[in-house]
Structure 1
């Protein structure tokens, strides 16, 4: 989902109505150069520990629940289920079934950006109280979602979002209007802080700690159709923070010091996420692939570049500078996870995971491990 500078659950199929119509009408903007896959070798991959190899492989194996009928992955997934949970057996399977491609940017080569996200836990309630006055909204009944790929195959996965005004589909309300009460969306729960809600939307899923001890799990259900604009960028543009200072902690500190400007800060991001209640469970939140995310081994990617469900090899570092080389599973997407060599690593649930995610902004490389003999995915 991410955090995290990452509008985690905002599927990249989300396109603002006016932008998509401009594209359909022959807009003259020049698309950026596409990323490329360069054939590589197993020897080119940085070494990882046996523990990371096993954990990364098992995280990806969970993707096969959704990939089993994919003609590209059906055979490798079937074979993977028979592999013993042992480092050498996994290495033998990977080398015999998959081939290695280096993901490369036309401008920065194999260098990219690795960030992080997590599942936050915020105090709240199921009803509005004197303390909890900020609603966590479900999907409004008047939100219309239109898939376009049946008519425009080149727009596969892209959707329009809006509401009907008579017989005309118009853009849905922006975040500021929704926060002011313009929609009749149901309130699933209530939080005590507008900043908690903003960070919950950025991460795309989370838990609400109720007074009775239960944690209500919620996840991304839909979105209002506007592009995500980082609130940290607005603070930089306003001269409130320096670019290198931007983090979730710094943003929250600024909001606490300037309560009179919080509404203005939040209004700078017109995108708004609607949630749904998820079953109580100890498993990780579900990403765009609809499988539970594994802390440290699931990533959100730009599905225009990397196919959802892919097995990747990541070479980066933790915020403290220690090495982070391992296989990871592309099981999630995010509206802010855009670009060639780009991934958002899921760190888990709670404050410790949030600390890692909030400070994660590392250089990194990505390799795609792709089934042998299968045509390479097309980069849009």
Structure 2
């Protein structure tokens, strides 16, 4: 590990997760259908855990998490799952026998993310003038003296962030053979970077799947905050849709606004993915719309089922109660603290509209596996 000075890439919360055991009867809307909805993905998680050393840490802290923070903690639940039939009643009996519900005492807050679908070209032509870059060869990750991870490069014996967004826009990476594709606009690139993965529809109708491959190490500055400070948007109007609309309506200012966020994300091609599932999450498993969430791994283990009670907007912006079982299969750089989660809504315009409008409070109940014995 390289020990260098710098700032952490991901936020962390000093607040300790507070859990209280509850009965399944306390979960409004709990049913066999909900249990069955995650069984296939849970099986995929178990196959993943079986490849890991038993002491592999999945997240959370041992004093707070009674069980489930190590890969070996799942041996019992995963062993029984292998012989559990795929029907609603069997799935419900299985989860109630092998997982204990714990209510997160902190208030929950939910936002959404999606897999953008944009148009692109394998070559620079016509309207396709914005490059989508692969990870530069000199971009590395290292540990700070405080133990946090940072990204950057070594230059003249010193470690510092890689080129900023403005420097890259000015051509710092041009001609290095890093272009994976060319997009129609800087806004398409920016929202692809915000979400961390996406689908690029080529002129011949083929689709290139791309996923996160690294970041330049500069701090992330929310563009919504910049627009509010400039008086361009009211704070209550800051949504992904409104930000995109503002950028599209002000092409002469869009680049300078986007460059206020020096943070820059690089991508890699994702091969062999099922078109019916999302990009792989932190466990390497394809995300499922409405059934996968991103959490803070500092406070909660990856893989655990989570019962969500909140309100969700539809594609038309109408908000209604939403109570469902999901799986903690991903992490996010702005997801920090107990009760904080990002719901994966899928891909395409409808998924973008739902994710962009989701900012709701609610409750969260985590289902922790019982010990193997």
Q: Provide the TM-score with structure 2 as the length reference.
A: 0.85
Q: Distance in 1 between matches of 2:205 and 2:212?
A: 23
- Tell me whether 323-332 or 75-84 shows the greater mean CA deviation: 75-84
- CA distances 1:98-126 after superposition (whole Å, capped 9, x unpaired): 11111233xxxxx2211111111111101
Asked if structure 2 preserves the Cα contact closer than 8 Å seen for 1:227 and 1:335, the reply is no
Q: Distance in 2 between matches of 1:185 and 1:82?
A: 50
Asked if structure 2 preserves the Cα contact closer than 8 Å seen for 1:163 and 1:170, the reply is yes
Q: Distance in 2 between matches of 1:205 and 1:104?
A: 32
Q: Does 1:57 align with 2:39?
A: yes
Query: Is the partner of 2:34 in helix, strand or coil?
Result: helix
Aligned twin of 2:99: 98
Aligned twin of 2:65: none
Asked if structure 2 preserves the Cα contact closer than 8 Å seen for 1:59 and 1:298, the reply is no
Q: Does 1:245 align with 2:237?
A: yes
Query: Is the partner of 1:94 in helix, strand or coil?
Result: helix
Query: Is the partner of 1:327 in helix, strand or coil?
Result: strand
**Unpaired segments ≥5 residues, structure 2:** 53-70
Q: How many equivalent pairs are there? A: 340
Q: Does 1:34 align with 2:16?
A: yes
Two-structure CA RMSD over aligned residues (Å): 2.2
TM superposition shift of 1:31: 6.7
Q: Does 1:179 align with 2:180?
A: no
- Tell me whether 283-292 or 203-212 shows the greater mean CA deviation: 283-292
Q: Distance in 1 between matches of 2:339 and 2:39?
A: 21
Asked if structure 1 preserves the Cα contact closer than 8 Å seen for 2:117 and 2:348, the reply is yes
In the superposition, relative to structure 1, how do residues 159 and 57 fare at CA in structure 2: closer, same or farther (>3 Å)? same
Q: Distance in 2 between matches of 1:260 and 1:62?
A: 47
TM superposition shift of 1:353: 1.2
TM superposition shift of 1:254: 0.8
- CA distances 1:218-237 after superposition (whole Å, capped 9, x unpaired): 11111112332221122122
Aligned twin of 1:7: none
In the superposition, relative to structure 1, how do residues 81 and 317 fare at CA in structure 2: closer, same or farther (>3 Å)? farther
Asked if structure 1 preserves the Cα contact closer than 8 Å seen for 2:134 and 2:179, the reply is yes
- Tell me whether 126-135 or 66-75 shows the greater mean CA deviation: 66-75
- Tell me whether 84-93 or 57-66 shows the greater mean CA deviation: 57-66
Query: Is the partner of 2:303 in helix, strand or coil?
Result: coil
Asked if structure 2 preserves the Cα contact closer than 8 Å seen for 1:228 and 1:335, the reply is no
Aligned twin of 2:329: 331
Q: Does 1:18 align with 2:6?
A: yes
Asked if structure 2 preserves the Cα contact closer than 8 Å seen for 1:217 and 1:280, the reply is no
Query: Is the partner of 1:251 in helix, strand or coil?
Result: helix
In the superposition, relative to structure 1, how do residues 340 and 238 fare at CA in structure 2: closer, same or farther (>3 Å)? farther
Q: Distance in 2 between matches of 1:327 and 1:268?
A: 38
Moved over 4 A (4+): none
TM superposition shift of 1:373: 4.1
In the superposition, relative to structure 1, how do residues 245 and 259 fare at CA in structure 2: closer, same or farther (>3 Å)? same
Structural mapping, 1:185-224, within 5 Å: 186-224=178-216
Q: Distance in 2 between matches of 1:185 and 1:146?
A: 25
Residue of 305, 319, 332 corresponding to 2:299: 305
Aligned twin of 1:368: 366
Query: Is the partner of 1:236 in helix, strand or coil?
Result: helix
Q: Distance in 1 between matches of 2:270 and 2:260?
A: 29
Q: Distance in 2 between matches of 1:52 and 1:235?
A: 41
Aligned twin of 2:223: 231
Asked if structure 2 preserves the Cα contact closer than 8 Å seen for 1:314 and 1:325, the reply is yes
Aligned twin of 1:165: 155
Structural mapping, 1:2-151, within 5 Å: 18-20=6-8, 32-68=14-50, 69=52, 70-105=71-106, 111-147=107-143
Asked if structure 2 preserves the Cα contact closer than 8 Å seen for 1:127 and 1:190, the reply is yes
In the superposition, relative to structure 1, how do residues 232 and 49 fare at CA in structure 2: closer, same or farther (>3 Å)? farther
In the superposition, relative to structure 1, how do residues 213 and 20 fare at CA in structure 2: closer, same or farther (>3 Å)? closer
Aligned twin of 1:12: none
Aligned twin of 1:258: 250
Aligned twin of 2:259: 267
Query: Is the partner of 1:296 in helix, strand or coil?
Result: coil
TM superposition shift of 1:141: 0.8
Q: Distance in 2 between matches of 1:56 and 1:323?
A: 20
Query: Is the partner of 1:91 in helix, strand or coil?
Result: helix
In the superposition, relative to structure 1, how do residues 17 and 138 fare at CA in structure 2: closer, same or farther (>3 Å)? farther
**Unpaired segments ≥5 residues, structure 1:** 1-15, 22-29, 106-110, 375-380
- Tell me whether 41-50 or 364-373 shows the greater mean CA deviation: 41-50
Query: Is the partner of 1:73 in helix, strand or coil?
Result: helix
In the superposition, relative to structure 1, how do residues 249 and 275 fare at CA in structure 2: closer, same or farther (>3 Å)? same
Q: Distance in 2 between matches of 1:209 and 1:240?
A: 32
